[in-house]
Amino acid sequence: MAWPLHKRRPLCANALFILAVLSLWGLGTPIASTSLALSLRQDQALQPHQLATLQADAIVILSGTQNEATPEFGEPVSGEQALSRIRYGAFLQRRTGLPVLLSGGSVQSNEHRSLAETMAFDLFEGFGIQAKWLEAKSRTTAENADFSYEILEAENKTSILLVTSSLHMMRAKWSFERAGFFVQPAPTDFIDKKTLSTSSFIPNAHSLQLSSEAIHEWLGYWVYLLLN
C-alpha cells in the first residue's frame, strides 16, 4: 500500500511503511504472540484425577491438518496439531472408556481422503483405539459441530468431552454448544507464559506463526458471532 503512494503522498507512504514494519516486528515477538494466545484461553486443563467422575456420553476429537508426503507410512498421516489432539483423546478414552467420534472432512477439497479417516488411522495404529464414529463431511468448525450433532443426537449422546487445541477451544466450544451439545471442554496443546527476558522482544518465525493463528481464531470467533 505504501509503494504506490511514495511519490504523491510521501508522508502517508512513510507512515504506512513504519506501521507495517512495527506490526511485523511486534507480532513476531514472543511477548506479543503469547499474550494473544493467552487471551483466547477460557478453559483450564482437565486434571487426571477428575476423569473418573466426569459425566459424558462420548469424546469428540476435532481434526487439524494432514501430511500426504509420507511414503514411509504409505498413506496420509495427521499433522502435528491434529496428532496432539489424537494423543490426548486416546488418553481420555483409556481413562474414561467413552466412545470416540472423529470430526473432519476435506477442508481444501484436494485431500486424498478426509481428515477424520486419517485421524482414525493414527488413533488405531498409534494408540490401538478404534473410533466408533467418523464425521467426514465438515470443512469448518461450525460444520464440525452441526454434522457431529446429527450423528450423536441420533444415538442420544449429546453430552461430550470436546478435544481440541487450547487456542481453538473458545470458538469450538461456542459452535458445539450452539449445535445443541452439552460441552465439557478438554483442551490440549497449551501455550505457557514465558519468563520475561531480552529474547521476549526479539522476533522469530514461531512467534509470528502463533500470532497469525491467534488472530485467525479471534477473527473466526467474531465472524461466527456476527453471522449467528
Q: What is the CATH number of the domain that holds 77?
A: 3.40.50.620
What is d(CA 222, CA 174) in angstroms, rounded to the nearest whole number? 11
Q: Look at residue 192 in the predicted model and tell me its pLDDT.
A: 86
Residue 154 belongs to a domain: yes
Q: Give the range of the structural domain holding residue 159, as residue numbers without chain letter.
A: 40-191+208-227
Q: Look at residue 10 in the predicted model and tell me its pLDDT.
A: 84
Residue 1 belongs to a domain: no
Which 8-state DSSP code applies to residue 106?
-
Q: Could you list the mean pLDDT of each consecutive 10-residue stretch along the chain, which spans 228 residues?
A: 81 89 94 95 93 94 92 91 97 96 85 91 96 96 97 97 97 97 97 87 95 96 92
- Supply φ then ψ for residue 211, to 5 degrees: -60, -40
Residue 15 belongs to a domain: no
Q: Look at residue 108 in the predicted model and tell me its pLDDT.
A: 72
Q: Look at residue 109 in the predicted model and tell me its pLDDT.
A: 66
Residue 11 belongs to a domain: no
C-alpha cell at 67: 501430511
Residue 163 belongs to a domain: yes
Give the pTM. Answer: 0.90
Residue 35 belongs to a domain: no
How many domains does the chain divide into?
A: 1
Q: Let me know: does 83 contact 50? Beta carbons within 8 Å.
A: no
Angle between helix axes 205-227 and 30-38 (nearest 10 degrees) is 30
- CA-to-CA dists, residue 78 to 33, 87, 127, 134, 147, angstroms: 25, 11, 13, 15, 21
Residue 21 belongs to a domain: no
Q: Look at residue 89 in the predicted model and tell me its pLDDT.
A: 98
Helix ranges (DSSP H) in 45-191: 80-96, 115-127, 141-153, 169-179
Among all chains, which residue has been given the C-alpha cell 507512515?
Answer: 15
CB atoms within 10 A of CB 91: 16
C-alpha cell at 208: 509470528
Can you spell out the DSSP letters for 16-37?
A: HHHHHHHHHHHHTSHHHHHHHH
Q: Let me know: does 75 contact 121? Beta carbons within 8 Å.
A: yes
Helix ranges (DSSP H) in 164-204: 169-179
Q: Look at residue 9 in the predicted model and tell me its pLDDT.
A: 84
What is d(CA 137, CA 139) in angstroms, rounded to the nearest whole number? 7
Residue 120 belongs to a domain: yes
